[in-house]
Structures are given as structure tokens and as C-alpha cells.
Chains A and B, each alone.
Chain A
């Protein structure tokens, strides 16, 4: 490590310092005589000073705002390209990704897949970019905030004359014949009136206000980092849940990835009545007023071994409406979908075909079909086969395409006095067929089936939300600090019958110049804001 740089004033500065941290005298030869970049007070930034080791180079790469912007732009472009073809999880057909993309989109699809765009958020280079941005955020801040803090903390009131001369607002006024002590005191008073914190060293004054606004960008960055950490926490198991569950009326189903079960006691869909509108609306059909699920949440106390008999304990009961979820210990169930009038059970009336005598009725539940139904003392129906989603395969064999009762078909065996050895029949939706193709001895007549509504519930859990909101709040605080306040400094120094004036602000130069003009006016110097700048340019 190189030795520190000693200023004429005696202060020892870190290598790379442009302006002495204490007196402000230009240290580097290239600074002298030029307008200095005051953004970091001419302090030594590590990234601008060391370029030797690998660590230096890595540090310098990430401390560059330009590199950060490039990484952000790359991320944006990659995200945009990632929407051109569907992501892997949205592939419409169940095919491996390496086959689907080239088949559906040709060579472009293959390139898309090979580069990992099909699973963008998990591709290594996307994660690397996100990390790069995160690291850049930290390194950029550290590289700037540490020297800035040092410089502002160690600054002295009495500055080197050259420091004042190289400021953007800088002017030398004649102080001949003025009482030095009185002038200084009067300027001090004027500064205080403008609500500056004033420090005095001999005949030098430093008025300063709004220094905290300089920390705004860094507080903003801390907020963003907390925000990012919150997002990353979603990767930890148990922190984040995003699921969907369909529940029929009367049904109790497990909530995926949890030990909870949810029951839909009733689903209600209400419509607006004509008299509820202030004027007659010309709408097609009706407008829904509310979707509501009367829900009960249970906790399974026997969830250790999957498949074992659930032991349910009711933990919450709540009507779920749109935007009014059921909340329980961080778990949120939102009203998110509905399917009305889903087939729940077929109701059939048995009739003796010859005599037209009714024999009774059977109910065939489509989710848990009964094995045998006793219609009366003489008649019973055996359910031999059930296809919830009936179809014929290539060999013309009956199969079910899924477990959903989309197209239910049963084979039943009816045992009655007329059919003591049983009569096998197919029961389809709205149609029956005897197994042997003859006319049935017992006819099944369809009655109104049981229909239920199905409610779609979105299941959410997000323990990272408080952290994300806190991060967002901190970030906002930083933005407000940085945007609505300015760090203003005004220097007055009386030296050799001259009044040296200089001012610096990080924004709103118009404002600070007016303040300088007003303060000088109160002390008998009439000068315009334009002159302040003009004078500065000449020097």
C-alpha cells in the first residue's frame, strides 16, 4: 500500500485524493487551475486509484455505473426476448423442451432453447446478470459513499484560497476599509437567517445545510438491496407459495404444499338487479355483483406420513370474496375462479320396461361412485365399471382419458325379480345401452342430475412481503431525501482586504445563487446572480 499524500496544511490524505480533505487545496497537478468535479469532494475513490491486482480490476468493473447500466439493459433485452416463445412451463403439449422448441419454431426455436431462453429466470447467465447488478449496487455505493463521508466529515472551515477559486460559484469582492470582525459577524448572521448551520474559524465562515440529502442515493440503494434479499428469500422452502386449488361445493380438499385442507361449504354468485343501477344500462345479459365461497380451513394434525388418515381440526372459517381472502397464519386463499353447474351425480329412475312400473331411483356419484346401491328389498344395482372421462382407445377398448368426470360412463348390473341373474347396461350421459344389445328389461330414465358449483381458490403465502415492503419503504425514503433536499454550502473568507465568496450545491444552482446574492445584499454588496457565475468564469 502506497503512502498517504501530505498536504501543505499538514493533513494526510489517502492516495488518489484530488482536493485535500481538510483545506481543499488541489493535490493532483491536473486539478490545479481547472474547475474541479465536486461530486465526491475530490476524494480518493478506490476504483479510480488502484488498477493493479485482480481484486482491483473486479472492484473497478463493478464500481462503474456504465457497466451497471449495460447489465441492466442486457437484462431488459433478455427479458423481452424471453417472451417471444412460451416459457417451458407454458408449453402446450407434454413434450420435452429439447424436442418441442425445434419442432414448433424451427432453428430459431433450437437457438432459443440452447441459450436457455426457454427457462429464462433459471438460466445461469440470467442469474449471473442479476447477481452482477446486485454486486454492482453494493460496490458502486461503497466506492463512493466511503470517501464522500470521509471528505464531508473532515472538511475544515478555513479553506485554501485555490479551493474557493475553483468552485463553480466563486467571486472576490473588495473589502477595503471594512471592519473585518463586523463583516464576518454580519455575514454569519445572514447565513443563520437562511437557516444554514454556520461554523467559524477566524475570519472564515462555512454555512452548510441539507447535508443528509447526500446520503439519499445510498439509502435508496440499501433499500433496493433489502428488496432484493426479500425476493431471494422466496427461494427458501416455506417462505413462498403460489398454488391454485379447485373445490366443489361440499368437498374438502388438501391445500397443495401445506398441511391444510379447505372445504367449500357453498359457492355464491350474485348478479346486479336492474333497480340497482342509477340508470338503465344497455348490457348484454347480466353483471356479476359478487363471487363468494363459504370456506372452512382445517389443519391436518396427522400429516407426518402421506396417505395416512387425515385428522382435521378446524382453524378458520371465512367467506372468501374477490379481494377479501381467507387469512390464516400467513396463508391466503383468494377467490380466483368459478365453474358453475359441474356434474356431481347422475340421478336415474328405474322402470320395469314391460309394465312401466317404477322400481325406484339410484344416484351415481361421479367422484366417489358407490359399489352397490340397494334400491329396495327386491332390487339392487352393482356398479361394475366406471370411466369418468370415457373414450375408446386405438383397439376400440373403453378407457378413461383422465380422472375428471368430463364424460362419465358406467357399466351397471341390475338385479331385480325380472332379472335375477343381473342385466348389464352401459350408462352414458343421457343414454343407456345393454351389454348384449337387446332391449333392456329394466329401463334407466334420466332425472335431473346433481349439479354443483366449483370454486377456484388461489393459494398464496409470502413471508418475504414484510421485508420487501420495508426495502421499498427505505428505498422511497432515500429517493425523497435525494430529490427534495439539496446539500448547499457557502464559504466566506476575509483575507488581505478582500472578501472571498464561494458556493456549492449538488443541485438547484439557481436557488443557491439567489441566496448568495441576498446575503451579500444585506451586507452592502450589490451583485447579480449572473455576475456570480460570470466572475467565476473569469477567474
Chain B
């Protein structure tokens, strides 16, 4: 009688575990690599007309990471505001990195000239390795990263208003 009871309990336990695990992994486990409150993945990217930039080397500074492309209309619209915000926060230890997805240097450079982006560091991701790592779908996609390297907020879509950009930058400023 004892062994039978134990067997039944084990069978029931296995079933409950299987059910629990399946539901947990299907609904509750966040499958995104970049999560609010968690450290964001590091990356290295070439800056247009400049050096390579590594995210982890910017410790001590809060970072706004914006994924964009000249082929994306809302991205084009918010670039001027990002540039303006970058100027305003230049001495407040918040940097904006505008990471271009998949284009070559010529269109990015001429776009910067056309939109007079003089304060915004433009980064390149021609192989889209960083874009894939950050699981970017819809663009623009903007990550507000605190100085300790953890994610404060992720805004998908746009254009963001200047107010939105400003307020969130205020929040992450060290």
C-alpha cells in the first residue's frame, strides 16, 4: 500500500511539474534578451567618421540607444529632436547613440548633413549583428539605459516627441 501511494504521488508530481513548466515557459518567461531592470547586452560599433564605440566603455554615463534607418519615415522625423536633446544633455553625462541599421556610410553621412545632425554620434551596424542581438522589429526602437548599464525603458515606434525624449533622459541622468 505504501509503495503504491508513493508511486501515485510521484506520477501526480511529474504531471503537475510538466503542466507548470509548459505554462510558465509559454506565458511568463520573457523571451526578450533586453529586459527592463536588467543589464543590456554589450556591443561594439563603428562611428561614422570616427572611432569604434563600445557600450561597456561608457560606464558612468547614461545612454540612449536609438535604432534607426534613413528608409524609416518616423526615424527620419525624430532625428532632429534627438540631436537637440543630445546637445542639451551633453554636459549631464547622458549620451545618445543613433545606431543605423544595415546601411552603408554614404547615405548615413549625407543624411546627417541634410538634417544637420551635428551633436549626434551615428553608429553603423552593416551586418545587423547588434540589431539582431537587441531583437529589433519595428523601428525606431529606443532604449534608455541607466549609467549602471541596466535598462530603464524601451520605446518601440515613433516618432517620439521631444518631451518624451527629454523626460526619459532626465530620469536616467546620473
Inter-chain contacts of A257 with B (CB < 8 A): 132
B60 interface hit (Cβ, 8 Å) = no
Contacts A305-B54, A307-B129; A369 near B106 (Cβ below 8 A): yes
Inter-chain contacts of A256 with B (CB < 8 A): 132
A177 interface hit (Cβ, 8 Å) = no
Nearest Cβ on chain B to A122's Cβ, whole angstroms: 6
Inter-chain contacts of A386 with B (CB < 8 A): 104, 106-107, 110
Pick the residue among B12, B19, B22, B71 that contacts A232 (CB under 8 A): B22
Nearest Cβ on chain B to A189's Cβ, whole angstroms: 42
Q: Tell me which of B23-31, B142-150, B162-170 binds A.
A: B23-31
| Contact residues of B between 113 and 134, Cβ < 8 Å to A | 125-127, 129-130, 132-133
Find out whether the CB atom of A135 lies under 8 angstroms from the CB atom of B15.
yes
Number of interface residues of B (CB under 8 A): 38
Find out whether the CB atom of A55 lies under 8 angstroms from the CB atom of B71.
no
A477 interface hit (Cβ, 8 Å) = no
Find out whether the CB atom of A371 lies under 8 angstroms from the CB atom of B69.
no
Inter-chain contacts of A411 with B (CB < 8 A): 110
Nearest Cβ on chain A to B19's Cβ, whole angstroms: 6
Find out whether the CB atom of A307 lies under 8 angstroms from the CB atom of B43.
yes
B70 interface hit (Cβ, 8 Å) = yes
Find out whether the CB atom of A306 lies under 8 angstroms from the CB atom of B43.
yes
A284 interface hit (Cβ, 8 Å) = no
Nearest Cβ on chain B to A1's Cβ, whole angstroms: 6
Find out whether the CB atom of A403 lies under 8 angstroms from the CB atom of B102.
yes
- Complex formed: what's the CA distance from A235 to B126 in Å? 30
Find out whether the CB atom of B130 lies under 8 angstroms from the CB atom of A306.
yes
B90 interface hit (Cβ, 8 Å) = no
Find out whether the CB atom of B1 lies under 8 angstroms from the CB atom of A1.
yes
Pick the residue among B18, B76, B129 that contacts A254 (CB under 8 A): B129
Per-position binary interface string of chain A over residues 310-328, scored 1 when its CB falls under 8 Å from any chain B CB and 0 otherwise? 1000000000000000000
Most buried by B among A122, A235, A307: A307
Closest to B69 in A: A403
Find out whether the CB atom of B106 lies under 8 angstroms from the CB atom of A131.
no
- Complex formed: what's the CA distance from A385 to B105 in Å? 10
Most buried by B among A124, A386, A389, A401: A386
Find out whether the CB atom of B104 lies under 8 angstroms from the CB atom of A369.
yes
Contacts A307-B129, A384-B110; A131 near B138 (Cβ below 8 A): no
| Contact residues of B between 1 and 53, Cβ < 8 Å to A | 1, 11-12, 15, 18-19, 22-23, 25-27, 41-45
B78 interface hit (Cβ, 8 Å) = no
Find out whether the CB atom of A385 lies under 8 angstroms from the CB atom of B11.
no
Contacts A305-B42, A306-B133; A235 near B103 (Cβ below 8 A): no
Inter-chain contacts of B18 with A (CB < 8 A): 131, 134-135
A467 interface hit (Cβ, 8 Å) = no
B73 interface hit (Cβ, 8 Å) = yes
Closest to A62 in B: B15
- Complex formed: what's the CA distance from A138 to B18 in Å? 12
| Contact residues of A between 221 and 260, Cβ < 8 Å to B | 232, 235, 253-254, 256-257
Q: What are 23 A-B residue pairs whose CB atoms fall within 8 Å in the complex? A: A55-B12, A124-B27, A127-B23, A131-B18, A135-B19, A253-B127, A254-B127, A306-B43, A306-B44, A307-B130, A369-B104, A383-B106, A385-B106, A385-B110, A386-B107, A388-B107, A400-B71, A400-B107, A403-B69, A403-B101, A403-B102, A403-B103, A411-B110
In the complex, besides A384-B106, A387-B107, 4 extra interface pairs with C-beta distance below 8 angstroms are A122-B26, A127-B23, A138-B15, A305-B42
Closest 3 CB pairs of A and B: A306-B129, A306-B133, A308-B44
